[in-house]
Amino acid sequence: MAVEITDQSFQETVLNSDKPVLVDFWATWCGPCRMLGPIIEEVAADFEGKALVGKVDVDNNQQVSVDYGIRNIPTVLIFKNGEVVDKIVGVAPKEVIADKLNSYL
């Protein structure tokens, strides 16, 4: 299950993680985000214990969204050692997302 990440928990959950972290920036009103949601949940299940998968609701957590220049959603960022190492904008197939995340394990 993807972890809900907030402005308040971002530092601890994402930047201080000892594992790669995939973060899905989304909003409830965003159609493509709703299409990507189940894919993110599958990736979260597949990578349990190997990587952290989380979601940031951009409407409720605007500071993190501004900090990382999120202008289009869905946007998926992959972090390793507190740094953004990869980015996917828009809906992508599960295989593409999984392959990118795998490359940072």
> Span 18-32, mean pLDDT?
98
The residues assigned a catalytic role are: 30, 33
pLDDT digits (tens, 9 = 90+) for 28-85: 999 999 999 999 999 999 999 999 999 999 999 999 999 999 999 999 999 999 999 9
- Domain that residue 28 falls in: 3-103
Entry pTM: 0.97
What single DSSP character describes residue 1? Answer: -
Q: Work out how many domains the chain is built from and give that number.
A: 1
Q: What is the CATH number of the domain that holds 13?
A: 3.40.30.10
SS3 92: coil
Residue 9 tokens, joined: 């928990």
Q: How far apart are CA 86 and CA 101, in angstroms?
A: 9
What is the pLDDT averaged over residues 82-99? Answer: 98
